[in-house]
Amino acid sequence: MKKKLKFLLSLIDATSEYTGKFYGIFLIVFLVGVITVEVIARYGFNRPIPGVHDAMTAYFGAYYLMAGAYTLLVGAHVRVDVLWMHFKPRGRAILDLITFPLFLLFMGVLVVYGWKFAMAATWSSSAGWILEFDHSFLKFPLFPLKWTIPIGGLLLLLQGIAKFVRDVHLVATRKALE
Amino acid sequence: MSIELITILMFGGLVLMLLLGMPVAFATGGVAVIFITTLWGPHALSVVALRISGQMYQYLLFAIPLFVFLACIMERCGIIEDMFTCFMEWSGPLRGGLAIAVILTGTLLAAVMGIIGAAVVTLGIIALPTMLERKYDQKFAMGAIMAGGTLGILIPPSILFIMYALVAAESCGKLFMGGILPGLVLSALFIIYSLIRCWRNPSLGPALSKEELAKLTWKKKFLDLRGIAPPLLLIFAIFGSILTGIASITEAAGIGAFLAMMIAAVKGRLNWKNVWDASTRGVTTTAMVMWTIFGAQAFVAFYIAQGGDKFVTNLIVGTGLGPYGILAIIMGILIFLGMFIDWVGIMYLCVPIFLPIIKICGFDPLWFGVVYNVNMQISFLSPPFGYALFYLKGVAPPDTKMEDIFKAALPFIGLQLIGLVIAIRFPWLCTWLPNVVFPSGVAAP
A70 neighbourhood in chain B, CB within 8 Å: 283-284, 287
| Distance from C-alpha of A28 to C-alpha of A63, rounded to nearest angstrom | 12
Contact A60 B61 (CB under 8 A): yes
- For the CA atoms of B380, B385, B388, B392, the dihedral, rounded to the nearest 10 degrees, stands at 170
Instruction: Answer whether the bond into residue B23 is a cis peptide, omega within 30°.
Output: no
Task: Read off φ and ψ for residue A64, nearest 5 degrees.
Answer: -90, -25
pLDDT of residue B56: 77
B242 neighbourhood in chain A, CB within 8 Å: none
Q: Nearest residue of B to residue A94 by CA position?
A: B20
Does the pLDDT value for residue B159 go beyond 90? yes
| Distance from C-alpha of B408 to C-alpha of B204, rounded to nearest angstrom | 12
Determine the average pLDDT of the residues in B297-313. Answer: 92
Query: Does residue B62 sit at the A interface (CB-CB below 8 Å)?
Result: yes
- Domain ranges in chain A are 2-173
Q: How far is CA A109 from CA A78, B120, B160, B294, in A?
A: 21, 38, 29, 13
pLDDT of residue B50: 81
Least Cα separation, residue B361 to chain A (angstroms): 32
pTM of the prediction?
A: 0.92
Cβ-based neighbour number of residue B421 at 10 Å: 12
pLDDT of residue A32: 66
For chain B positions 373-432, those within 8 Å of chain A (CB to CB) are 384-385, 390
Does the pLDDT value for residue B390 go beyond 80? yes
Contact B22 A58 (CB under 8 A): no
Determine the average pLDDT of the residues in B403-412. Answer: 94
Query: Does residue B209 sit at the A interface (CB-CB below 8 Å)?
Result: no
Cβ-based neighbour number of residue A145 at 10 Å: 22
User: What's the distance, CA A136 to chain centroid?
Assistant: 26
C-alpha neighbours within 13 Å on the C-beta side of residue A163: 28
For chain B positions 338-377, those within 8 Å of chain A (CB to CB) are 340-342, 344-345
DSSP letter (8 states) at residue B443: P
Confidence of residue A134 (pLDDT cuts 50, 70, 90): low
- Above pLDDT 90, what percent of chain B? 74
For the stretch B206-237, pLDDT in tens is: 999 888 888 888 999 999 999 999 999 999 99
Of B37, B1, B23, B6, residue with least CA distance to B304: B6
Chain A to chain B Cβ contacts (< 8 Å): 206
| Distance from C-alpha of A78 to C-alpha of A71, rounded to nearest angstrom | 10
A36 neighbourhood in chain B, CB within 8 Å: 254-255, 258
Contact B33 A36 (CB under 8 A): no
- ipTM score for this prediction: 0.92
Q: Nearest residue of A to residue B49 by CA position?
A: A114
Of A20, A36, A114, the CB nearest to B283: A20
Instruction: Answer whether the bond into residue B156 is a cis peptide, omega within 30°.
Output: no
For the stretch A100-117, pLDDT in tens is: 999 999 999 999 999 988
Does the pLDDT value for residue A132 go beyond 80? no
Contact A81 B384 (CB under 8 A): yes
| Distance from C-alpha of B326 to C-alpha of B361, rounded to nearest angstrom | 8
